[in-house]
Chains A and B, each alone.
Chain A
């Protein structure tokens, strides 16, 4: 499956990006700013997802999971800790990326000003949601599902309008795109670059979808955790 996964994802993302490039002359947009903004925003999402699922996997690989779950620590506290640790990691990564983008490409991440905050918060929340879902799937299906911790996020990349607008997608896929909260963030980022105005409606839609998916992901995790305990599979993870 891995053999096809990455080439297909790359073909989708860069194929749609090429379609966008063909049209962009008419839109008069600074393509470097849009691309670098998208790349850095994507990394916020990617890292926040990994922070949750890879932190869990590290305990699995270390064979430390039992030590953790026989302490009075609640599962909700365990998840919260991974999220908080992820925030530290993301803060460090964003500083490094921001500085490098500034010196290498004269791209100033702070051009978004305070508007950066609602964008990043929405990206982080969706990253945590995906992290919780992938961790739940790993709990349920074990070692063979570990690849999801690294690759699951890329399933949404072609449909989330990261590097190109939703309009570059075929009509059917546009429906899928509008079901993903981060689509509104990336569309919003481009709108902000183009108009200098914060697209409130896009951010509101992103936040509403994020809240719904976060709650659903927690229910899903709880269900999978209970099933894993019933199957006695928690310690069989490795």
Chain B
């Protein structure tokens, strides 16, 4: 448990207000190396705002974010070199071939030996045959795998995944989860994961942080939280928490 002493991500009293709306209300949490943490909550809970503040896409009103012990605001480039992000709501340029997109992003992350890295990841995600294809011609499942390939190009130590299995059919979603588990195990990556699929969260995450109306309302392992609320699964806990704060 010695590794748990150095948080890979430390969020301290993070606060974000848009005009009169408090989106994130002075939340604090830490994430440790090699863990998968689920960030859950109903729509408007503040998950996306939190993730975007971690990525330095939104500037916090107040509070601190330290990643790998460094500040995302003052050491942005150094921090972003070691992390990555994937979301089905963000596209790669559709007018480029898959290989061109991956090569471009590999260059942006300063990846060494780009060709070897892409082939290695393409094997892992079984997208080798997609590399010469136009990105616009891919199916949703294929795009998800290409997005995940992009997210691993720089061997990130911290990976932020925003609903990576949304809009995938159950078969592809299951394959994607297995791939994520495998990469997390093999590479020891820390993953911050958002999803509305509670079964998926139970399967993947060893820890979950529940947010509602900008606050963290619970934090613990899925088993402990289910036990604490006296429910049969995480889905019921989710509904209980969402409705109790309405």
Give me the interface of A with B, judged by CB distance under 8 Å. Answer: 58-59, 62-64, 66-74, 226, 229-232, 234-235
A72 touches B55 (CB 8 A): no
On whether A73 and B108 interact (CB within 8 A), knowing A64-B90, A66-B90, A67-B90, the answer reads yes
A63 touches B89 (CB 8 A): yes
Give me the interface of B with A, judged by CB distance under 8 Å. Answer: 16, 18, 23, 49, 52, 55-59, 76-78, 80-81, 83-85, 87, 89-95, 105, 108-110, 150
Output the nearest chain B residue to A77 by Cβ-Cβ distance. Answer: B108
CB contacts (< 8 Å) of B18 on chain A: these are 231-232
On whether A230 and B91 interact (CB within 8 A), knowing A70-B84, A72-B80, A73-B108, the answer reads no
B57 touches A229 (CB 8 A): yes
Q: 7 closest Cβ contacts across the A-B interface?
A: A71-B108, A72-B77, A63-B91, A232-B58, A229-B59, A72-B80, A66-B90
CB contacts (< 8 Å) of A235 on chain B: these are 52, 57
In whole angstroms, how far apart are the Cα atoms of A229 and B109 in the complex? 22
In whole angstroms, how far apart are the Cα atoms of A236 and B105 in the complex? 22
B58 touches A63 (CB 8 A): no
On whether A66 and B80 interact (CB within 8 A), knowing A72-B109, A73-B108, A232-B18, the answer reads no
In whole angstroms, how far apart are the Cα atoms of A232 and B56 in the complex? 10
Given contacts A63-B89, A67-B85, 10 further A-B contacts (CB under 8 A): A62-B95, A64-B91, A71-B105, A72-B76, A72-B110, A73-B108, A230-B59, A231-B18, A232-B49, A234-B58
- Main DSSP-derived SS at the A contact region: helix
In whole angstroms, how far apart are the Cα atoms of A68 and B57 in the complex? 11
In whole angstroms, how far apart are the Cα atoms of A234 and B53 in the complex? 12
A62 touches B91 (CB 8 A): yes
Output the nearest chain A residue to B48 by Cβ-Cβ distance. Answer: A235
Selected contact of B81 from candidates A66, A69, A72, A74, CB within 8 Å: A72
What are 17 pairs between A and B in contact, CB < 8 Å?
A58-B93, A63-B91, A64-B90, A67-B92, A67-B105, A70-B55, A70-B56, A70-B85, A72-B81, A72-B110, A74-B77, A230-B58, A230-B59, A231-B18, A232-B18, A232-B58, A235-B52
Most buried by B among A59, A63, A71, A231: A71
CB contacts (< 8 Å) of A231 on chain B: these are 18
B107 CB → nearest A CB, Å: 9
In whole angstroms, how far apart are the Cα atoms of A61 and B64 in the complex? 32
In whole angstroms, how far apart are the Cα atoms of A73 and B58 in the complex? 16
CB contacts (< 8 Å) of A64 on chain B: these are 90-93
In whole angstroms, how far apart are the Cα atoms of A61 and B26 in the complex? 34
On whether A71 and B80 interact (CB within 8 A), knowing A229-B57, A232-B49, A232-B52, the answer reads yes
In whole angstroms, how far apart are the Cα atoms of A232 and B24 in the complex? 12
CB contacts (< 8 Å) of B83 on chain A: these are 70
In whole angstroms, how far apart are the Cα atoms of A98 and B17 in the complex? 55
CB contacts (< 8 Å) of A66 on chain B: these are 55, 57, 85, 87, 90
In whole angstroms, how far apart are the Cα atoms of A44 and B23 in the complex? 46
Output the nearest chain A residue to B147 by Cβ-Cβ distance. Answer: A67
CB contacts (< 8 Å) of B84 on chain A: these are 70
CB contacts (< 8 Å) of A226 on chain B: these are 59
Output the nearest chain B residue to A74 by Cβ-Cβ distance. Answer: B77
Most buried by B among A70, A232, A235: A70
Output the nearest chain B residue to A65 by Cβ-Cβ distance. Answer: B90
On whether A71 and B55 interact (CB within 8 A), knowing A62-B91, A231-B18, the answer reads no
CB contacts (< 8 Å) of A73 on chain B: these are 108
CB contacts (< 8 Å) of B78 on chain A: these are 72
B89 CB → nearest A CB, Å: 7
Output the nearest chain A residue to B57 by Cβ-Cβ distance. Answer: A234
CB contacts (< 8 Å) of B109 on chain A: these are 71-72
A224 CB → nearest B CB, Å: 13
CB contacts (< 8 Å) of A234 on chain B: these are 57-58
In whole angstroms, how far apart are the Cα atoms of A102 and B173 in the complex? 60
CB contacts (< 8 Å) of A58 on chain B: these are 93
CB contacts (< 8 Å) of A59 on chain B: these are 93
B90 touches A229 (CB 8 A): no
In whole angstroms, how far apart are the Cα atoms of A72 and B93 in the complex? 18
On whether A67 and B150 interact (CB within 8 A), knowing A226-B59, A234-B57, the answer reads yes
Most buried by B among A66, A67, A230, A232: A67
CB contacts (< 8 Å) of B85 on chain A: these are 66-67, 70
A221 CB → nearest B CB, Å: 16
